[in-house]
Amino acid sequence: MTRKLFGTDGVRGRANSFPMTAEMALKLGAAAGRYFRREGSSAHRVVIGKDTRLSGYMLENALTAGLCSTGMNVLLLGPVPTPAVGFLTRSMRADLGVMISASHNPHQDNGIKFFGPDGFKLSDEAEGEIEAIVAGEIELAAAEGIGRARRIEDGRGRYQEFVKTTFPAGVRLDGLKVVIDCANGAAYKAAPEVLWELGAEVIPVGVSPNGTNINDQVGSTHTQTAAEAVVAHGAHVGISLDGDADRVMILDETGRVADGDQIMALLAGRWADEGRLVGGTLVATVMSNLGLERFMTGRGLRLERTAVGDRYVVEAMRRGGWNLGGEQSGHIVMTDYATTGDGLIAGLQFLAEMARSGLPASRLVQQFEVVPQMLKNVRYGAGAQPLEAASVKAAIAGAEVRLNGRGRLLIRKSGTEPLVRVMAECEDEALLRAVVDDIVGAVQAAV
């Protein structure tokens, strides 16, 4: 089934432009309600969370109207991290969870992500069926069957209490000074409170959302702000989340950044030593550095690669029964604890390793030598198909010949933005720059 609305992470776009309009949110809500009510039961409920974007108010109300129109009872959580929606969907016995967020994107964008009753993101097939319902005539509930909506005041508190249970019992963070950058996003209250309750001295950054400053020079895609705070305050470590707190970057005491690959290597090695790494396997995407693969192989462990997107990581983990995976971008998925990437829980796991080992963050953030990697993005307009151009195909083929087994090349469209992503890895940095620039130039000419 060809999908036009759903990308790799729900429906996403610029607020008040298709498909992120109130009209489409209402239709999506009604279609999702119809999809999850098809068994005919009258006791259906849905939880809705959001981040701090101004457009979240509009989309939340439209989704609520659509869901209620098909008989769903709506429980509104307010601003909470994306993983909180996955957790509370299961905890509150809901049939559906919805998160309104565009993750690390600027405030002008927004998105709608759906979770099934098990707390996991919906499959491609389920999203395709919802999209088909949107395109057709949606059957509404009878007047007496319209759903109700209510605010859940303690949703964030429930999530915070759960998060603390993932931290080792009896361990405290006393004496540890932690910078926490919440990107002016969904975790702006939850993350600092959890760290404080566990005993850390907390230096909060990005905790003053105003509707338009989410991810603005803060958060996991703009780590310089947190790095400067770490150095200025003499902090032991920094934790930098994105707008919906499902991804994380770790900063050591010098401000050096550890991405998702280094965090996964740390956790995989520790879990393997403890006999906790199921199947001796870590699941990561094709974007993860070749150095991570060498690290795993050197430990007698295995790296399973998937398509880009944390949902595909999770799907592979569920198929293989594996319990650790993630992305270089900072999604760390630990199915022992959560159904999706959880930046706060991943940050706590890093702090637990600091407490266990007694080592500074700088000793823990460099688990393997990184193979030089370059990623460049090229934006394209609506309707453009740059990867279909003969000139682009020729440039890619030429790059593969030049690399000739000395590196790795990955060219793909973003699933969340109109971007072509050009990534290559190679020990020869001059060759690396040359092949990436050639392909980028060809794509730019094509668009």
> How many angstroms separate the Cα of 51 from the Cα of each of 59, 113, 213, 273, 286?
11, 12, 12, 37, 28
> How many angstroms separate the Cα of 426 from the Cα of each of 291, 331, 370, 409, 435?
11, 24, 10, 9, 10
pLDDT at 382: 81
pLDDT at 76: 98
Type and span of the H or E element at 29 = helix 22-36
CATH for 6-153, among 3.40.640.10, 3.30.1330.40, 3.40.120.10, 3.40.50.1220?
3.40.120.10
What angle do helix axes 22-36 and 124-135 make, rounded to 10 degrees?
120
* Of 31-40, 60-69, 246-255, 344-353, the least confident: 31-40
Average pLDDT over residues 329-345: 97
What are the tens digits of pLDDT across the range 113-142? 999 999 999 988 999 999 999 999 999 999
The number of beta carbons lying within 10 Å of the beta carbon of residue 303 is 20
Cα–Cα distance between 419 and 109 in angstroms, integer? Answer: 14
Query: pLDDT > 90: what percent of the chain?
Result: 91
Domain ranges of the chain: 6-153, 159-248, 373-446
Please, is 441 exposed, middle or buried when counting C-beta atoms within 10 Å of its C-beta (0-12, 13-18, 19+)? middle
pLDDT at 38: 60
- Residue 9: pLDDT band with limits 50, 70, 90: confident
Domain 373-446 belongs to what architecture?
Answer: 2-Layer Sandwich (3.30)
What are the tens digits of pLDDT across the range 74-93? 999 999 999 999 999 999 99
Matching fold, domains 6-153 and 159-248? yes
pLDDT at 404: 86
* Residues designated catalytic: 103
Average pLDDT over residues 173-180: 97
Specify the amino acid at residue 366. Answer: Q
pLDDT at 103: 96
Domain 159-248 belongs to what topology? Alpha-D-Glucose-1,6-Bisphosphate; Chain A, domain 3 (3.40.120)
pLDDT at 236: 98
pLDDT at 159: 98
What are the tens digits of pLDDT across the range 377-402? 999 988 889 999 999 999 999 999 99
> In this model, does residue 157 exceed pLDDT 70?
yes
Average pLDDT over residues 32-51: 83
What are the tens digits of pLDDT across the range 288-326? 999 999 999 999 999 999 998 898 999 999 999 999 999
pLDDT at 414: 85
Cα–Cα distance between 339 and 20 in angstroms, integer? Answer: 25
Nearest to 264 by CA among 243, 249, 246, 251: 249
For the chain, the average pLDDT equals 95
Cα–Cα distance between 403 and 165 in angstroms, integer? Answer: 48
pLDDT at 415: 73
Cis peptide before 19 (omega within 30 of 0): yes
